[in-house]
Amino acid sequence: MENTASKMPPARIESTDFSIRKVFENQYQRFENHSQYMNPQLPKVLKTLGFDKSYVRGEAQYLWDQDGKRYLDLLSGYGVYNLGRYHPVIVKTLREMLDLQDANLVQMDCPHLTGELAKEIIQRSPSGDRVYFTSTGAETVETAIKFAKATTRRDRIVSLKKAFHGLTVGALSVMGNEEFREGFGGLLSGCEQVAMNDLNALENELKKKDVAAFVFEPIQGKGVFIPEAGFLKAAEELCHKYGTLTIADEVQTGMGRTGKMFAIEYEGLKPDIILISKALSGGLVPTGAVIASDKIFKSVFSSMDRCVVHSSTFGKNSLSAAMGLATIWVLENEGLIEQANVIGEKLIAGLNAMKPEFEMLGEIRGRGAMIGIEFISPRSLSLKMGWNLLHTLDKSLFPQMIIIPLLRDFGILTQTSGKGQDIIKLLPPLVMSDDDIDYFLKSFRTVLELAHKFPGGLWDLGKSLAKASLSEKAS
């Protein structure tokens, strides 16, 4: 008799009743649904800023709204879209994966693609022997904290002021922005933040010999602050001296963003643990990777008994791994890592060229396609009045006064870079064209011209933002 159980069944695809296209037909309800069923503050904030657009399509560096208006996306989903949206290789890979119907998430299995991706990552990583996969950036941070504690048998973690490492409890404990911690009660004990570039403060903590790890971003995402040359190398040496592990959080800076595959390559660092996520996903399937030494893996997974002592259900997702493999291929074969530098140099040069004309334009910082534009208090009396008034009412409003007209009048999506900072941030997809760069620079110049006219110009917008902020505080 024929063994029918051993025959592979045909793929099941047909189901006619459910159509996601039909769900999309109700797009006009998106803000109502969020107001009613999700975090109701988000639609309120978007409405106040005039950011309540109904984006219906994305491709490469562009978005389109329901009226067919095109937007240039310089936010990249907080750094997810290094390749731009729906890169053809990413789409082809995902389609192939769906057609293949790979035996995904069997769990009691060693999936082929995750192993392949681990190998490709290790071949490119400045340090590390093994990879643990996660689904998000914060999960990579949580994992690194646990791995560091298990390896050193120490409890404390030191990080840098102004750092951002994610919003889960462990990540929040090493967060350098107080406002995110407020209201969430007790976090991990013994976590300390020291100022960037302050080696004495760091050594004072490390000297206590109870610090499991020093965690840092090679370039801080909030504000785009770049450590002084040599600081991270010296910090690494201090950590070695006192038996503390180093964790480089490359969740945002990794995967070509700064003009190298890993930003730590600029300083020749060899961290004990490196974290990547965001762009590794190709923008479609969430993923993250914790790259660590064999010694660290052997400390955590110390016996067969402890084989799954740290794991997560979606960690070894073949779809994520396929996206990671395709992302690395595109970055390297389409020269996008070099392109990050080309884009960054043109943007920074164009922005610096505007400085003599605009007194509120301060430092332009960045590496590759990760750029911070800082605004500074003006010298001229009338502008100073507007600046002081706005800052007295709310220290976070000025950069909003810049990003709002960029979107409203020019269809350019950017972000402010953290509460209480006069900084906006550009994270363009690495496929941004020369025309896009020219368009951004021209548009930004017009916005600056308006911002430098007081009274009038953009300051009426500032006034209405201040009013909205005051009435929110009062309510």
Ligand X SMILES: Cc1ncc(COP(=O)(O)O)c(C=O)c1O
Task: Please report, as ranges, the residues that interact with ligand X according to CB under 6 A.
Answer: 78, 136-138, 141, 164-166, 217, 221, 249, 251-252, 277
Q: Are 425 and 416 in contact (CB under 8 A)?
A: yes
**Shortest reach from residue 220's CB to ligand X, in Å:** 8
Q: Which is nearer to ligand X, 278 or 452 (CB)?
A: 278
**Shortest reach from residue 79's CB to ligand X, in Å:** 7
**Shortest reach from residue 181's CB to ligand X, in Å:** 15
Task: Tell me if residue 217 falls in helix, strand or coil.
Answer: coil
| DSSP, res 8 | P
Residue whose tokens read 């370039």:
219
Instruction: Report whether the peptide linkage leading into residue 271 is cis, meaning its omega lies within 30 degrees of zero.
Output: no
**Shortest reach from residue 461's CB to ligand X, in Å:** 28
Task: Tell me if residue 26 falls in helix, strand or coil.
Answer: coil
Cα separation values, 200 from 129, 185, 241, 392, 395, Å: 31, 30, 14, 34, 31
Q: Which residue, among 272, 370, 287, 374, has the nearest Cα to 325 in the 3D structure?
A: 287
Find the residue with minimal CB distance to ligand X: 137
Return the structure tokens found at 289. Answer: 């990777």
Q: Which is nearer to ligand X, 254 or 405 (CB)?
A: 254
Q: Are 99 and 87 in contact (CB under 8 A)?
A: no
Q: Which is nearer to ligand X, 140 or 318 (CB)?
A: 140
Calpha distance 125→261 (Å, rounded): 8
Calpha distance 290→239 (Å, rounded): 19
Q: At what angle do helices 318-333 and 336-354 cross, to 10 degrees?
A: 70
Q: Which is nearer to ligand X, 48 or 415 (CB)?
A: 415
Q: Which is nearer to ligand X, 114 or 277 (CB)?
A: 277
| DSSP, res 227 | P
Task: Tell me if residue 302 falls in helix, strand or coil.
Answer: coil
Residue whose tokens read 């479609």:
284
Q: Which is nearer to ligand X, 383 or 427 (CB)?
A: 427
**Shortest reach from residue 213's CB to ligand X, in Å:** 14
| DSSP, res 117 | H
Q: Are 111 and 318 in contact (CB under 8 A)?
A: yes
**Shortest reach from residue 350's CB to ligand X, in Å:** 25
**Shortest reach from residue 29's CB to ligand X, in Å:** 26
Q: Which residue, among 336, 414, 366, has the nearest Cα to 75 in the 3D structure?
A: 414
Return the structure tokens found at 364. Answer: 């332009």
**Shortest reach from residue 226's CB to ligand X, in Å:** 14
**Shortest reach from residue 354's CB to ligand X, in Å:** 28
Cα separation values, 148 from 112, 244, 342, Å: 28, 9, 37
Q: Which is nearer to ligand X, 253 or 299 (CB)?
A: 253
Q: Which is nearer to ligand X, 277 or 320 (CB)?
A: 277
**Shortest reach from residue 278's CB to ligand X, in Å:** 6
Q: Could you give phi then psi for residue 292, rounded to 5 degrees?
A: -145, 170
Q: Which is nearer to ligand X, 60 or 172 (CB)?
A: 172
